[in-house]
Amino acid sequence: MIAPQCSALGPLTGLDETAESLHSAFLDPGAGGCEQAPPGVPSLLSGSDVKRDEIDKAVREAAERAGEAGAVLVIMFIGHGTTLGQMPKLSFMASDSSEDLSTSVVDIGHLLSQVLDVHGVQGVIAVVDTCHAGGAVPDLGMLAAGVRQGATRLALLMSVGATEPAYGLAFSRALVRVLREGLPGAGEFLSPAEVSESVSKETGTDSRLVTMDGLTFQPQPWLARNARHTAGNGGLLRAVGEEDLRRALEPLGEAVAAFAVATAGDLGRLRRILEALGQHVARPDQHITYALRTIDRLTDAVRTCEFLSSSWPGKPLESDRIRRAYAVAARQPAPESNADELLRDCVESLCLRVPLAKGSPTAPLTDFVATLAVEDGLDRDTPQLTTWSRNRGAAVELTDAFAVQERRVAERRLRLVVSLHAAVADEWPETLLVWLLDGDTLVDRKDFACSPTQSGVERQLGTVLKWAAVKARNTGLTLTCIDIAAPSALLANWRPEETRLGPRLGFHYDLVLRWSDRLSLPAHLGLINVFARRQLDAMKSGAGAPVSWLDKTQTTELYELLERLGDGWSEHALALSHRPERLAELLDSLLASAPIVLWPDSPGDLPAASRDSVERYWQQLPGEFSAAYRASWRQASGQQDPADGRRDLARVRSVWLDEQWLDFCDWFETHSFDGENAP
């Protein structure tokens, strides 16, 4: 919150009090819901001694913190605003600003452009209440050419247009009332558009709202929680359901639009009202058709939530399982909620927002349930499942979804582990140690001698795969998954999926890179696998991708970074936003501190779209990396591939540690001696 008094233009009555009220409303967990600033960092700058340089510094540092946290940044500017010369561009007046000196004013539009282009910032919500506030709009066209190439999001609320005066901070005062009192009939969360419209009506002014959305695969932002929302945890519909129902009913008149839905029976009654309404029109009305379809999907969502909460025949549903299943069905991150609210949000989204233009509108929800069922080992003929699918008219759809899920599970049963841990320093090994596993069961193992060069290792991979293919046929299963374990010095630059064995190895196999040092831990790192299990558990506890992005400054100051990691600064995956020259040395340190490490595939900064793709595909990683590499190869060969973000993901390299690899490390420790298999 920036609210300076400017002596050059005279004091604004009530500015300090209004700024404090608005600042407090945005920090209220039941209203604006913003996080408190770190200790010692002021989030409210007001009064007669707020200089221009201080404003620039505070906003930029806030953007950096938001980027590190992967958060939405909320910025508010209230006070004096003017225009210089004939340009309809807002100049915000700091305490030391002068109308006659352009270098003394704050260019809000330029400042917003800068913070929107900061990596990791999930969006910017900005409030400007000054004269000429409409001149605060940044150059949105230039953002497409910025660091993030337009992959950013803005909601800018302005009290007046670029050529209009503002009076008495009326916009800010009305905004405080909306945040504190909420809006009747609105959903659990208030969008910037809803708030802007309500404030305009209350003040009788024509406030302005400018939005830009370059993060189409991310959840839509909300400006505040609605203080008048009454559904709460026990309500029938969540935010998506309430919003879509309200939108569907609005064109049909006030009587229908105001119909209260609190129970499943209310949905049925509303449907009958719409059917009766449809009988009085000469031809089918598109608004009635759309409303009926919305009610049917909401009914499906309500019944499915009841089924999953009360009659689910499998294991109790946990948040992490729900998020994984949603990511499989929706191909996007799960909503940012928890526990029962998460389940209801996911189901409503699958019924209302995810269905594609082509294909069955019920398929995403069916895929979601099938994913949960297969994970629990349920049969497709489980009575509760068949009853649920038949009631929805989706019996065949459920069978098809089961078939897809079961095929995926079968394809991942067999796993080939190829370890290069016999390598010394940055040299290639003379022996490849190989295991073929069926789940947790050892099928066979063998050592393969090779020339101690990259080409020697890659040539021998062909021999390894011939051996594994014969063993796989004897099990009746197909081998598609390969783990490549190697020291950090090799992992930094080697791309085993590009090995040419005729076609690239990665065209027919999904490869995951592992850090081989975890197989034979030195004494000073003896507990890192134990700690890794705790880190992986912590990474499951929240929504979104649990990634801490490290910039060039942090990776340069390696000692300080490792000290912070040792003090518990992050239990997330570590990702480099910039590829350092001495990557191998850095990886060796980071891989001992985090279970998962990501970095750019080429020198320089990782594009914003690639960082966003990590968020989008997180629940499907590391397997989705292989699909991304295949997509990039097809593009390079002139083949068209859907613009689904995979080519952006292909710019990311990774070393991935999960429970499966930790279990193998434990097994290896039990069945080996001094790094070699016991006789």
Phi-psi region of 182 (alpha: psi -120 to 50; beta: other; left: phi over 0): left
The pLDDT score that the predictor gives to residue 254 is: 73
Residue 445 has pLDDT above 50, yes or no: yes
Q: Regarding predicted confidence, which is higher, 283 or 25?
A: 25
The pLDDT score that the predictor gives to residue 599 is: 95
CA-based angle 210:211:215, to the nearest 5? Answer: 165
Name the band, by pLDDT with cuts 50, 70 and 90, for residue 574: very high
**CA gyration radius for the chain?**
28
Q: Regarding predicted confidence, which is higher, 132 or 99?
A: 132
Model confidence over 222-242: pLDDT tens digits? 888 887 765 444 568 888 888
Compute φ and ψ for 99, nearest 5 degrees: -65, -20
- Letter for the amino acid at 474? N
Model confidence over 481-522: pLDDT tens digits? 999 999 999 999 999 999 998 899 999 999 999 999 888 777
Percent of residues in the chain assigned helix, strand, coil, to nearest 5: 45, 15, 40
Helix, strand or coil, per DSSP, at residue 672 = strand
The pLDDT score that the predictor gives to residue 538 is: 84
* CA gap 291, 486 in Å, rounded: 57
* CA gap 76, 136 in Å, rounded: 12
* CA gap 421, 427 in Å, rounded: 11
The pLDDT score that the predictor gives to residue 460 is: 95
The pLDDT score that the predictor gives to residue 543 is: 63
The pLDDT score that the predictor gives to residue 230 is: 56
Task: Please name the residues in contact with 105: beta carbons below 8 A apart, sequence gap of 6 or more.
Answer: 52, 82, 84, 91, 92, 93, 94, 97, 98
Q: Where does residue 667 rank: exposed (0-12), middle (13-18), buried (19+ CB within 10 A)?
A: middle
Model confidence over 61-99: pLDDT tens digits? 999 988 887 788 999 999 999 988 777 889 999 999 988
Model confidence over 180-209: pLDDT tens digits? 888 876 777 788 988 999 998 888 877 899
* CA gap 82, 454 in Å, rounded: 65
